[in-house]
A = this chain, B = another copy of it.
Amino acid sequence: MQYQELFDYLGEVEKRLAGFLRASDVPKYFNPEDISESVFSYIGRPAKRLRPAVLLMASGALGGPQRERLSLPAAAGVELFHTWTLVHDDLIDHDTLRRGGPTVHEAVRGRARVREALPDHLAAEYGRNVAILTGDVQHGWSIASFADCGLQPEVNGALVLKLIKHLQSYVLDNLIFGEVLDVRYGMRKLAELPEVDEAKIVEMLWLKTGVLYEFAGMAGALLGKNTDDFEDDEVQAVTHFASKCGTAFQLQDDILGILGDEATLGKPVGSDIREGKKTVIVYETLRNGTEAQRKTVLSALGNRSATAQEVQVVKQLFYDLNGIRRTKELAGRYIEEAIPYLDLIPESPYKHKLLLWANYMLDRKF
């Protein structure tokens, strides 16, 4: 299978990340037990680790294997950064499952009810509070890992200080902007949001996902060249490539969220529909539907007690009314725009893997 090389690399990255996190001197400060257990819960579950893999591939592509190895602490930093945003998002979205296990606020709530015999409402509040603080601790660990990267004698310290600043301002603030938009869209029915259109939804996808992939590509490229010149042509090429692939990845992920089974998703089939997730799929379907079809979709969307049959009907409308096809088309366009950027960097096994990743998003069977 042509993608085996990519999958092998992702598996290797997962092992190396786990090794780095195990050896880190930061977890000794995690206290009390509810915090230390919670900090590790998402990280310990199987996941693709695509963001750190993109960072490492970019680093290897511009700097070779030695630079790729030196970038591992930064790759761990990106994964931890992604993790804390998941913990806070899951709390905000009232999600109960993540990667096949309970979300942080849910797990802590459950433990507090049993271990400490707290009444329901206190246990739930304690769970929410620990989730806020767990995300804060992971946020700190993420940045501490970047600092670890910059403290290696072979790495340009100014480059890492600039990366930390970029991550903690531009990247973080755009991610939060996306999350607030998501929260605001979620507070109202789609039909009540005249300002939402396809471009706005795609912008939100970029904010919520693209910007961190963009950062992973940029950070890897800079670390690969060990330069702090953000305007370097090769760095710019990898940055744009990763940014566009990141948005495509999220478009693809939205399709998977509708079509995947429970094992792939780590949460029940139909969750995205019952949570009322605002996607291009939904937007396009509503745009093309009759009044009756729109009503059918809107009655299941965001309705946590929608039946399996209602979910199935909506899924069928997502196909029939072009929602799925339009989303695939957009994802394809982003990948097609991304790939030519790789012409600007030299051939290497790492570049080959970046190309495989981009192509996999087009080829993947939904």
Given contacts A126-B187, A151-B165, contact A140 B173 (CB under 8 A): yes
Does chain B have a CB within 8 A of A356? no
Residues facing B in A167-226 (CB within 8 A) are 167-170, 172-174, 176-177, 179-181, 183-184, 187
**Whose C-beta in chain B lies nearest to the C-beta of A93?**
B129
Complex contact A176–B26 (CB within 8 A): no
Complex contact B137–A173 (CB within 8 A): yes
Complex contact B32–A177 (CB within 8 A): yes
**Whose C-beta in chain B lies nearest to the C-beta of A143?**
B168
Complex contact A161–B151 (CB within 8 A): yes
Q: How far is the CB of A176 from chain B (nearest CB, A)?
A: 5
CA distance A181 to B129 in the complex (A): 12
**Whose C-beta in chain B lies nearest to the C-beta of A178?**
B31
Q: How far is the CB of A143 from chain B (nearest CB, A)?
A: 5
Residues facing B in A113-132 (CB within 8 A) are 118, 122, 126, 129-130, 132
Does chain B have a CB within 8 A of A150? yes
Does chain B have a CB within 8 A of A139? yes
**Whose C-beta in chain B lies nearest to the C-beta of A136?**
B176
Complex contact B147–A164 (CB within 8 A): yes
A136 CB contacts on chain B under 8 angstroms: 88, 135, 139, 172, 176
Complex contact A180–B29 (CB within 8 A): no
Counting chain A residues whose Cβ lies within 8 A of the other chain, the interface size class is 35 or more
Complex contact B88–A174 (CB within 8 A): no
Complex contact A164–B180 (CB within 8 A): no
Does chain B have a CB within 8 A of A50? no
Does chain B have a CB within 8 A of A34? yes
**Whose C-beta in chain B lies nearest to the C-beta of A94?**
B125
Q: How far is the CB of A91 from chain B (nearest CB, A)?
A: 7
A26 CB contacts on chain B under 8 angstroms: 169, 173
The 10 closest A-B pairs by CB, nearest first: A29-B173, A140-B168, A147-B165, A140-B172, A157-B157, A31-B177, A144-B168, A26-B169, A143-B168, A147-B161
Sample of 6 further A-B pairs with CB below 8 A, known A31-B177, A92-B129: A31-B180, A35-B180, A118-B187, A129-B180, A137-B172, A160-B161
